[in-house]
Structure 1
């Protein structure tokens, strides 16, 4: 007598999904090489360096992890890694595509919207902030009141497409005037997206010095003091969906005489007068300190030499010293007037009673 076997709908659905997945795993999209191609689903190549590698004339496909579930409701997520800028689609799938209603999607326990009939939710441009644990809930439509079900959470990570670039300067951030300078905007794409293309821009003090281009370097053939400033760069994808800026970097171009530090002359302190020999009579106005006339100050002519910039700095320093002497003269006069006034007040003390 032939036996009769009964299988639950969940078990039949799991077997169907397993067979379908097995069929997909044994298919290759294109011939692996000139020789007979083959795929090896039992091999798990987890090293990213081994993606799309060749061994003895064979090319292996990218590995993926297959998870077979026997739940009534599951959340389907992309099998390949998701990077910044990629579109992200999540689907709330019921057993045997059973009609659903009041579908709700959640991230980290919070609902992403009100319940509705849509079994899919899409994110046009994925960002790192979209990473989290997702799940969905829905009600199976039936002639009766319906059965609410909840899918198991699925961990989803949005990987960084590339790190924020770093601006490097060659030979240094303080180059010598007249020398070439090279700015390099350094970042790197992951191996899975090595075929992508980045465009680079360079900025100085809030304005663009070179607009978007494929080269990650910006060259200044002959540096001058006008090239000093705050620089930063930007790396972006061709569709400008992902773009990141580098931290700012100060560049100071040194002139030919910047190595020689100017000498600062400090006047010697004056010795105060002896209070015992100081007269109580208010002194008259002091003779003005000798100050060079404007004719003398402007008549400074640097001698001919190999470095006229140095003589110009010396002329400016001499003018500052002369102005300081004038200010010190006025300050000494005011201090002496104040000292005489205080001494007169001291001598006019209260009269003594006999």
Structure 2
């Protein structure tokens, strides 16, 4: 395999066998200067190209030159949940192989066969482990069974399970606004990955998948009380995770005193007391007070009619009594 840096006047190449690495080499300058050289990278691999001394450098790669008959080639970049994982069993000088077998943590992953490549379409964290391969070399190889050194493969978490939070509180007052936020975080290497969020209450969906991690409730009502949870998923649906449940309890309007009593015969000059500032600031309570006042007025009208009926009945009874007395005389 050839490695080359194609930015004139630099051109470096070598015949090597690429495998999972143990050391990173960082080039400090173009080969055409005396300051050229490569040294072990003590800082750590960078994720992007960078400038130094006026030159543009690519991100480092990990390289191992092996003298083994058989080498297992692992992924060069970090592997995250949902990524494909591909391993290749490479022979010296590309000689033909038979009875190729792949292993993870010492256990065979399948029956021996001619395929030199092992792949997992959608990797999970449980796929992490130490992999190696074995194969029999065919002519012009030695004809013996050879085993490659193991390679450590770590499948990293793409994002943690989301947490559902309510702002300003999971116990909002009736009529107030509340926001549900489905919170999780992507690693810097995958910050461009787009996640979709959905919200659920009990066993039904409240909002389908969308790019916004928030659900707005402009005015909370008693019907909004319940157990909520959210789900975050990648656009390809390869990785999805659910949050723990969050209980939302909408609180009814607060009352500052004892409930008003009804006076069956209030004085005509009495007027209802004006609402307190706290009551005036609460539109729901103000509405209920208005209904109560109208009901009191209706009761007063009914009592007036009742008094008139009683007077008529009393006059009628007196008249009947007088007639009865006159007949007896």
Pairwise TM-score range, normalised by the shorter structure: 0.5 to 0.7
Aligned residue among 209, 212, 215 for 2:212: 215
Does residue 68 of the first structure (1) align with residue 69 of the second (2)? no
Aligned residue among 221, 237, 240 for 2:237: 240
Change (3 A) 1:75 1:234: same
Quote the Cα distance in structure 2 between the aligned partners of 1:184 and 1:212: 14
Quote the Cα distance in structure 2 between the aligned partners of 1:72 and 1:241: 37
- The 8 Å contact of residues 17 and 66 in structure 2, kept in 1 or not, is answered as no
Does residue 17 of the first structure (1) align with residue 10 of the second (2)? no
Q: How does 1:301-316 map to 2 (within 5 A)?
A: none
Aligned to 1:95: 92
Aligned to 1:176: 173
Structure 1 residues not aligned, in runs of 5+ = 1-14, 28-38, 263-300, 310-354
Q: How does 1:187-336 map to 2 (within 5 A)?
A: 187-257=184-254
- The 8 Å contact of residues 26 and 40 in structure 2, kept in 1 or not, is answered as no
Aligned length: 245
Change (3 A) 1:129 1:141: same
Structure 2 residues not aligned, in runs of 5+ = 1-13, 20-24, 28-35, 264-271, 280-284, 290-329
Aligned residue among 86, 97, 117 for 1:120: 117
Q: Report the Cα offset of residue 141 of structure 1.
A: 1.1
- The 8 Å contact of residues 26 and 60 in structure 2, kept in 1 or not, is answered as no
- The 8 Å contact of residues 173 and 220 in structure 2, kept in 1 or not, is answered as yes
Change (3 A) 1:127 1:226: same
Q: Report the Cα offset of residue 62 of structure 1.
A: 2.8
Indicate the RMSD between aligned Cα atoms, in angstroms: 3.6
Change (3 A) 1:40 1:127: farther
Quote the Cα distance in structure 2 between the aligned partners of 1:136 and 1:302: 90
* Runs of 4+ that moved beyond 4 A: 39-43, 45-48, 53-60, 301-309
Aligned to 1:108: 105
Quote the Cα distance in structure 2 between the aligned partners of 1:234 and 1:52: 31
Change (3 A) 1:245 1:46: farther
Q: Report the Cα offset of residue 44 of structure 1.
A: 2.9
| 1:249-287 CA distance string (max 9 Å, x none) | 111010114899x9xxxxxxxxxxxxxxxxxxxxxxxxx
TM-score, structure 1 length as denominator? 0.61
TM-score, structure 2 length as denominator? 0.65
Does residue 160 of the first structure (1) align with residue 161 of the second (2)? no
Change (3 A) 1:240 1:221: same
Report the 3-state secondary structure (helix = DSSP H, G, I; strand = E; otherwise coil) of the residue aligned with 2:247.
Answer: strand
- The 8 Å contact of residues 51 and 61 in structure 1, kept in 2 or not, is answered as no
Does residue 51 of the first structure (1) align with residue 47 of the second (2)? yes
More strand by share: 2
- The 8 Å contact of residues 177 and 222 in structure 1, kept in 2 or not, is answered as yes
